[in-house]
Chain A
Amino acid sequence: MNLRGFNLLLLLLGLALGATLALLLTRGSEALPGETEAERRGQQYVEVSRAATAEVQAFLGIHHDTVDEQAQTVLDGATGDFKEQYADELDSLKQSAEDQQSTAVATVLEVGISDIDSTTAKVLVAANTEVTSRSTDGEVRTVPWRIQLDMVKEGGRWLTSGLEFVG
């Protein structure tokens, strides 16, 4: 190979390496094929936290006019024992919300994961509700909550199989 050919080869190699470098710098390991175990788990934490937040918000939030819709959201994110228990108590919950003209606006303050594997997770949620009802004389009262959720992955979704208040 003469000098001109060698230089041309170097130029092409330089361009190829430059393009690869740019791809790696802008996309990181996404530019590389496959997903590491750590990345898969990191993504799992995000999905679990989102599902837990949505379920607690639906569970604690209540409006006496829209109990059925809210209950459906809770049931959609539930499974197993928790789903059965919630469905069993739905009628009394609805009656109580109507009697009391209750409204509770839920805010999830923090979500943490205490234990997780590929299909189960234990999650803590700190939340507040701003409650108004006949028993508060129309005044807004803030109620703090400490909640533990047991979650399972079913059909690609994280669902709540257990919910308990931490005493």
Chain B
Amino acid sequence: MSEMTTPKAPGGVLGSTWLAALLTAVVVGLGVFTVFTGYDALTPPQGVTSETGQVTDDDARAGLLVAAADLSQRVLTYHHDTFDQDLEVAGARLTPDFREEYDSAMEQVRANTQKNKISQEATAVSSAIISATTDEAQVLVFVNQETSSARTKANQLVRNRLVVDLVRLDGQATDGQWAIAGVNVLG
């Protein structure tokens, strides 16, 4: 009677075919992951720090400052005779949540604005970036608000310090534009 013999896997544990396949898969997997991780670490988006995500590109920062100044002026400027138009202009570049807050606040001043023919003109005199990533930013804006009214002879000037929160819009028509997500008046 002949003996049945099964072929022996060569070389013990390290010689196992299954283990070789497993190790190969691990090496390839780790290799791919390492290459991608290293590539990402080495090449953050242009003009952005890899550690904090802060935007350092001069053009991007200049564009953000212009947007923050412009949008702050829109939000704080209104005239009794163009009240609804002014609200539409400002509202177009607000996030939905902040638009609700803004509309609600403006409804509270509507009656008084029209009754006393109030106009408020806001001028952003200086602005500077507190922090800015590619999608979110906080900008310090110094705003002068000059208010005229049928009830007062002299205009009233208020010098404000605002922290404006901005986010990038991702809708089709507004893709890439900054919008205001919040305004905090420093006391």
Contacts and interface: CB of A to CB of B under 8 A. Distances in A.
B183 interface: no
Nearest to B31: A17
Given A21-B30, A38-B50, A110 B37 contact: no
A29 B30 CA distance: 18
A102 B23 CA distance: 75
Contacts of A110: 130, 140, 161, 163, 186
A153 B136 CA distance: 29
A52 B23 CA distance: 55
B48 interface: yes
B50 A29 contact: yes
A28 interface: yes
A11 B27 CA distance: 8
A42 interface: yes
Given A4-B15, A6-B20, A7-B19, A42 B126 contact: no
Interface stretch (A65-73, A74-82, A86-94, A111-119): A111-119
Contacts of A3: 10-11, 15, 20
Interface string A125-167: 0101000000000000000101010000000000000000011
A20 to B, nearest CB: 6
Given A10-B24, A123-B128, A21 B48 contact: no
A114 B141 CA distance: 10
B58 to A, nearest CB: 8
Interface string B171-186: 0000000000000001
Contacts of A167: 125, 159
B73 to A, nearest CB: 16
Contacts of B52: 42
B175 to A, nearest CB: 24
A17 B14 contact: no
Contacts of A13: 27
A62 B33 CA distance: 57
B26 interface: yes
A167 B142 CA distance: 9
Q: List 10 A-B pairs, minimum CB-CB distance, nearest first.
A: A112-B128, A42-B49, A112-B140, A114-B128, A124-B128, A41-B56, A4-B11, A126-B161, A29-B41, A17-B30
Interface of B: 10-11, 14-15, 19-20, 23-24, 26-27, 30-31, 33-34, 37-38, 41-42, 44, 47-52, 54, 56, 65, 125-130, 139-140, 142, 159, 161, 163, 186-187
Given A38-B44, A114-B126, 13 more contacts: A10-B24, A14-B23, A21-B37, A32-B38, A32-B42, A39-B49, A109-B186, A110-B140, A111-B128, A111-B130, A123-B128, A128-B187, A167-B125
